[in-house]
Structure 1
Amino acid sequence: MKPLSRDARDTVFLLATIAAIVLPHAGHLPLWASAITALVLLWRGLLAWRQQPLPGRALLLLVLLVAGSLTWLTHRTLLGREAGITMLVMLLALKTLELRARRDAFVVFFLGFFLVLTQFLYSQSLLTAAWMLVAVWALLSAVVLAQMPVGQPSLALAARHAARTTLYGLPVMLLLFLLFPRIAPLWGVPADAVGRTGLSNQLDFGAMAEIANDDAIALRLRFGADLRGAPPPPDARYFRGPVLSRFDGRSWRVEGSVGADTLQPQGRPLVYELTMEPLRIGVLPLLEMSPGAPGSELGLDGLTLRRGPELQWQSPRPITERLRLRAEAYAQYQAGAEQRPAALRPWLELPAGFNPRSLAWARALRAEPRFAALDETRLAPALAAALLAHIRANEFLYTLSPGRYGQTSPHLIDEFWFDRRLGFCEHFSAAFVVMLRAMGVPARIVTGFQGLDPAAQDGYWIVRNSNAHAWAEYWVPGRGWQRADPTAAIAPQRIEQGLALRPAAGALERLSPALWPQLRRGWETLNNRWQQLVLNYSRQNQFDLLQSLGFERPDWAALGRVGAAVIALLALAGGAWTLWQSRPHDAWSRQRERLLRELHAWGIDAAAHEAPSRWAARLQARHGAVAAPAAGLLLALERARYAAPSSAATREGWRQRRRWLREFRAAGRMLRSKPSEPIPS
């Protein structure tokens, strides 16, 4: 087979690099965009392989118009992140059909580098960073090839040049990483998650089953003032998320109460550090109960969180950045004890015409004589205990595969409570809250996370998306909101052991039950190091660095001064490097420069490209016999320069050069002390 020409080889290499850059975007691009990009790159590669001419501009313009129209139809705009990245991919692919000159190649390079940056708008994971690093290396290698227009440079040579150039710039990159200001929200725009946790302002009956397959990490925690302490007991591992009150017969939604719950913490707090992945939820899921007055604010890396009326920290927008903070939690507390009856009405409402059997059953339970003599302080806990006892005593089953409710009847709670009795946390919590409300007890659903991995990873305790959980709260006069977890009544191991939702085992787990957890643990440990050291390097880390450098009160001004000093040092270093590069560095070049200066001082018009014998002839022509010693030394220099080296000369080379230079300067002083004696014609 005929070997590829250099132009065809370089083009194919560039196309493969573009494919590697676009590939991570395939999950975010419309299907038609990925298909057109693949077809264009394959077509361009085939043209290069066959060395056929490129298509005309009319065809390119037609494809561009089609891509623009499809982008408009898909996104309803040509602006914004999604539409912009789609058009950028289309332009990059179509530009490869115009590679007629070096300037076209450089346009492709610039578009490629920009597209690499856009990938970090979706993910900043270690795997993404490694893939993009390889893509950037390949792009730099293509740039090096474009700067070598002559000959047949190998891809390996270009790759080595690209790697060496990158290493030269690595110290500057590191300094910029350490000192560049972390300005939110710009620094926190990228997000790794796309809302897979199931935590939102709405909960559909059975929706949490969808996250059973998602073992991605949601939270990382370290406990204690020294961050080396033990986690709290299992019944205290509740991370509070959205609180749901409005029930329409099928879905639960957030609807704030008229009043606001106040928290009265008791005992000593548990101090811990939490790193939250970008879960794209509007609530910061802190360990119950975190202190804070209703309406108070918490500033966190440019994001202002407000204490909500239901005792959780709410964000004005979905949290799309990775956050790290230190917090406190109280295992014992009193919450909302001062609420008035008007503020409790939203927690008593039920949709009209739904679940008649459940409402009738609840009213019958409330009318039993055992509850008649109880005062209002003891009544609500007794009714809650009776519901939990009913769940334990009857044939309820905790399962992730309860089937779909509501296909034959709109009365979901009736179907669950009386007919099928199959479900998981949200089914039990929803039925529990409906029954309490039917008996006149204010109640609500709380969603969030419950439990941890059984063992720490790299010093961090892990909460996964599959730890998502739903529990209930009911209100007791004088005592406030009390937590009740009906799941613990039917599946106590779920709470006591902190077990996450688990689907059926996959093929790898069935083949080797221990292998998959070990592989996952190793990867998550490595990824955690990346996140903690790189992605979580924040403004506070910068201030800590300044403090270690001697700044008593590090702030933005101190960071600016250090940055300016670093820039000045880099400029001086760059100038010194340029000056050093402009001077000769090998021994012969340095010696020749000194000789030329000496000869010019003696009035000899010597040029750098001439041999020492030529200099000697001009020296004797001008000064005659007086210049004989210096001319002889120049001739000896020429013989030493171009003669075959000997081992003795190699050992004595430096000493001989120094001795020769002393003799040459001595001959020059003698020459200047005597009048010139031109050689007679």
Structure 2
Amino acid sequence: MSATSARPEPSSNLRQTLATLPRDTRDTLFLLGVIAWVIAPQVAHLPWWSSSLAAALLLWRGILSWRGQALPSRWLLLGVLAVAVGATLATYRTILGRDAGVALIVLLLALKTLELRARRDALVVFFLGFFTMLSNFFFSQSLLTAIAMLVALMGLLTALVNAHMPVGRPPLLLPLCTAGMMAALGAPIMLALFMFFPRMAPLWGLPSDALTGRSGLSGTMEVGNVAKLALDDSVVMRIRFDTPDHAAPPASQLYFRGPVLSEFDGRQWREPTPRQDPWLGQWSLPPQLRVQGEPLRYTVTLEPHQRPWLMVLEAATEKPALNGFNLFMTPDLQWLSTRPITDVVRYSAESYPDFRHGPTRMSDALRELALLPANSNPRTVALAQTLRADPAVAQGGTPALVDAVLHSLRTGGYEYTLEPGLYGPDSADEFWFDRKAGFCEHIASSFVIVLRAAGVPARIVTGYQGGEFNSVDGYWTVRQSDAHAWAEVWMQERGWVRIDPTGAVAPGRVGQFQRLVAPQGVFGQAMGSVISPGMVQHLRAVWEAANNHWNQWVLNYTQSRQLDLLKTLGFIAPSWQDLVRVLGGLLGLAALLGAAWTLWERQQHNPWLRLLARTRQRLAQAGLIVPDSAPPRTIATQVQAQFGDDAQALCAWLLELEQLRYAPPPAAPRQLRDLQRRWHRLPWPATRPS
């Protein structure tokens, strides 16, 4: 055999090294690994210096433990603490609030690991670890975060149980099993608290931070912004239609209305400025919403987007059913809340696909929506004048003008693309005459500008169009990649009319749920070659269905759903007081069951003690009286002194019995049963005649 083949594998060397580590080193490395797991999800929300410093501190502590070196002095740790607090103050201008507090608690947890000199220090680390684990939910309550924190909980419980096993070198599997038993015993109480503890406004809170930015629609639009959203595949909302098989209406009706942009400064579109208090919904143009036909009923589960608007299909006449929020509709048919949506919310709504809205007669306020900045897009202005001068357009009015512009989009060689390049200040000129390529907001903006240049009131509506059906749970999923921009044109006697010019360039975008897909990276291409696209799509549908159930039954388990649960239990008009009574009854029952179990267990003899008592009784029959307080080793010494070498097997059995009590192996129950069987086959000394 060659020298190369005889060389041990690195993995086997690592396993041997870990197996020979001192227990303190092994336990410390395990605890550091658990802490790193707890901190890891925070990296995306912490400043780079905080994550780097926490990682360096944990690595430093691990090296010290591996090498068996002394811990640093307290003065050095105080210096690092001062740097951490100073950096937190410099970054956040405070040490209070959610973001600053989490950054500081992460650093304190990492620093405390360098003070693990006594059990008291270990307990502080454990409690800091539990608090840091909970702080992950300040930023995300997703199913993935919950799974990760459940693993962290089991790791911290295992380390805590292991710290209370000071004798011997128990394998980590033993405290893990104990931690799992503790979690299983506490699960029913946790479930009762979750289901019946009244959902009320929190009685405490951290000082509010600035709302964290999140990709999504905005109250402004600069050409190119919506195209960036198409690269984001995150979920915006999930919809369940109250129709047979939860089927969606035709694609031409799936327009989820968001911000309406009517003010244009030459580069950027903005929402209109309200004439009075925006929360009262008083603008200069009333909505004058007119609907007909049957409404479409549906339920929306909206992800937090840190904005005040709710997404509903056009057009909803009644306030969406959302408890705890003050809602109102703007004159632009957009439903708003008086506070941002910072958590997952679920609401029901009714929308009328067949509707008209807005004034039917021209007014000064409408004329303002036909204005353009001076010297803006001169070639587009000239194009509008040319179209307006056409006899057919002059005779047909605004509808004929709209048809003419749409005809130009269909026949002019225009392209729908995610990568049209950077547009300059005269974006409409570049789109109509130079690039002839763009995403939905390029097309909508250029369309509205040419209409305004012809003197027609027009504006841009942003929102989401379309969606994807999940056959696993029957919900429609709308993503950021479904973000869309379309136009509204004012027409005499009709009011505002939706016109989607993107459909003229790419009919599949609106009519067949076709989306532009961003180019895949190297990893995505490699995965596509290993796993079939159908399998990937199915796995994605299953995971999103699981996420949806998490949102529906956990994150959106509100007080109204608690009261509905009480109704199913027989309460006629349940209230939060009934929730307290039910919860108190369940907790009282759990306490009684626990007390009964404790009393029953106390009445049972420990199997080990019972076996030792039987041994003393058998030796007493042979003439050796052993005190009740004597341990097995003392009994073995007395047996050896009285019966000599004939009792060697009995002495060895007694020593095994003692080892099972004070240094139990992983398979302790099995070994106890083996000792009980062997007890009957032992060569006991002859019984002394009475």
Query: When the two structures are superposed, what TM-score results if normalisation uses the length of structure 2?
Result: 0.80
Give per-residue Cα distances to partners, 1:299-346, cap 9 Å, x unaligned: 624232221221011123331211112211111012113576133244
Q: Distance in 2 between matches of 1:390 and 1:344?
A: 26
Q: Which amino acid aligns with 2:407?
A: A
Contact 1:196 1:214 in 2 (8 A): no
Q: Distance in 2 between matches of 1:209 and 1:197?
A: 12
Report the counterpart of residue 266 of structure 1 in structure 2. 292
Q: Distance in 2 between matches of 1:557 and 1:433?
A: 56
Give per-residue Cα distances to partners, 1:484-539, cap 9 Å, x unaligned: 00000010001111223321244146524434323322322232232223223222
Give per-residue Cα distances to partners, 1:546-580, cap 9 Å, x unaligned: 01100122232322222232233233333334433
Q: Distance in 2 between matches of 1:223 and 1:583?
A: 59
Matched ranges for 1:524-539 at <5 A: 524-539=544-559
Give per-residue Cα distances to partners, 1:189-216, cap 9 Å, x unaligned: 999x975553111111111221222222
Q: Distance in 2 between matches of 1:77 and 1:291?
A: 45
Matched ranges for 1:274-673 at <5 A: 274-292=300-318, 300-337=322-359, 341-374=363-396, 379-406=397-424, 410-453=425-468, 456-505=471-520, 506-508=524-526, 511=529, 512-585=532-605
SS of the residue corresponding to residue 349 of structure 1 reads: coil
Report the counterpart of residue 126 of structure 1 in structure 2. 143
Q: Which amino acid aligns with 1:368?
A: D
Unaligned runs of 5+ in 1: 594-606, 611-641, 648-681
Report the counterpart of residue 60 of structure 1 in structure 2. 77
Q: Which amino acid aligns with 1:448?
A: G
Tell me which stretches of 4 or more aligned residues in structure 1 moved more than 4 Å: 184-191, 193-197, 585-590, 607-610, 642-647
Q: 1:55 to 1:197 in 2, by over 3 A?
A: closer
1:218 pairs, out of 211, 233, 236, with 236
Q: Distance in 1 between matches of 2:493 and 2:560?
A: 42
Q: Distance in 1 between matches of 2:371 and 2:408?
A: 23
Deviates more, 1:477-486 or 1:214-223: 214-223
Deviates more, 1:216-225 or 1:433-442: 216-225
Q: Which amino acid aligns with 1:208?
A: V
Q: Distance in 1 between matches of 2:75 and 2:155?
A: 31
Percentage identity across aligned positions? 50
Q: Which amino acid aligns with 2:573?
A: R
Q: Distance in 1 between matches of 2:145 and 2:333?
A: 37
Q: Distance in 2 between matches of 1:108 and 1:283?
A: 42
Q: Distance in 2 between matches of 1:533 and 1:298?
A: 20
Q: Distance in 2 between matches of 1:546 and 1:205?
A: 52
Q: 1:643 to 1:356 in 2, by over 3 A?
A: closer
Give per-residue Cα distances to partners, 1:614-634, cap 9 Å, x unaligned: xxxxxxxxxxxxxxxxxxxxx
Give per-residue Cα distances to partners, 1:49-72, cap 9 Å, x unaligned: 111111111111111111111111
Q: Distance in 2 between matches of 1:587 and 1:51?
A: 41
Contact 2:380 2:432 in 1 (8 A): yes
Q: Which amino acid aligns with 1:268?
A: E
| Cα RMSD (Å) | 3.0
Contact 1:211 1:466 in 2 (8 A): yes
Q: Distance in 1 between matches of 2:203 and 2:481?
A: 30
Q: Which amino acid aligns with 2:308?
A: G
Shift of 1:141: 0.7
Report the counterpart of residue 137 of structure 1 in structure 2. 154
Q: Distance in 2 between matches of 1:93 and 1:334?
A: 61
Larger Rg: 1
Report the counterpart of residue 194 of structure 2 in structure 1. 177
Report the counterpart of residue 597 of structure 1 in structure 2. none
Shift of 1:6: 1.4
Contact 1:467 1:499 in 2 (8 A): no
Q: Distance in 2 between matches of 1:32 and 1:264?
A: 57
Shift of 1:369: 2.1
Q: Distance in 2 between matches of 1:220 and 1:202?
A: 25
SS of the residue corresponding to residue 97 of structure 1 reads: helix
Q: Distance in 1 between matches of 2:202 and 2:401?
A: 48
Report the counterpart of residue 640 of structure 2 in structure 1. none
Contact 2:469 2:475 in 1 (8 A): no
Contact 2:246 2:474 in 1 (8 A): no
Q: 1:132 to 1:304 in 2, by over 3 A?
A: same
Q: Distance in 1 between matches of 2:74 and 2:608?
A: 56
Contact 1:222 1:461 in 2 (8 A): yes
Q: 1:218 to 1:187 in 2, by over 3 A?
A: farther
Contact 1:95 1:108 in 2 (8 A): yes
Contact 1:258 1:344 in 2 (8 A): no
Q: Distance in 2 between matches of 1:46 and 1:217?
A: 42
Q: Distance in 2 between matches of 1:581 and 1:20?
A: 38
Q: Distance in 2 between matches of 1:258 and 1:457?
A: 46
Contact 1:473 1:482 in 2 (8 A): yes
Q: 1:644 to 1:139 in 2, by over 3 A?
A: closer
Shift of 1:48: 1.0
Q: Distance in 1 between matches of 2:605 and 2:329?
A: 67
Contact 1:215 1:465 in 2 (8 A): yes
Q: Which amino acid aligns with 1:312?
A: Q
Contact 2:321 2:349 in 1 (8 A): no
Q: Which amino acid aligns with 2:483?
A: A
Shift of 1:437: 1.5
Q: Distance in 2 between matches of 1:102 and 1:262?
A: 71
Q: 1:425 to 1:132 in 2, by over 3 A?
A: same
Q: 1:515 to 1:186 in 2, by over 3 A?
A: farther
Q: Distance in 2 between matches of 1:307 and 1:446?
A: 15
Contact 1:178 1:542 in 2 (8 A): yes
1:74 and 2:91 are equivalent in the alignment: yes
Query: When the two structures are superposed, what TM-score results if normalisation uses the length of structure 1?
Result: 0.81
Contact 2:320 2:350 in 1 (8 A): no
Unaligned runs of 5+ in 2: 1-16, 275-282, 614-626, 631-675, 682-690
Q: Which amino acid aligns with 1:155?
A: L
Q: Which amino acid aligns with 1:343?
A: A
Shift of 1:259: 2.3
Report the counterpart of residue 101 of structure 1 in structure 2. 118
Give per-residue Cα distances to partners, 1:4-55, cap 9 Å, x unaligned: 2211111111111100101111111111111111111111111111111111
SS of the residue corresponding to residue 604 of structure 2 reads: coil
Shift of 1:349: 3.0
Deviates more, 1:13-22 or 1:316-325: 316-325
Give per-residue Cα distances to partners, 1:463-489, cap 9 Å, x unaligned: 121111000111123222110000000
Shift of 1:589: 8.7
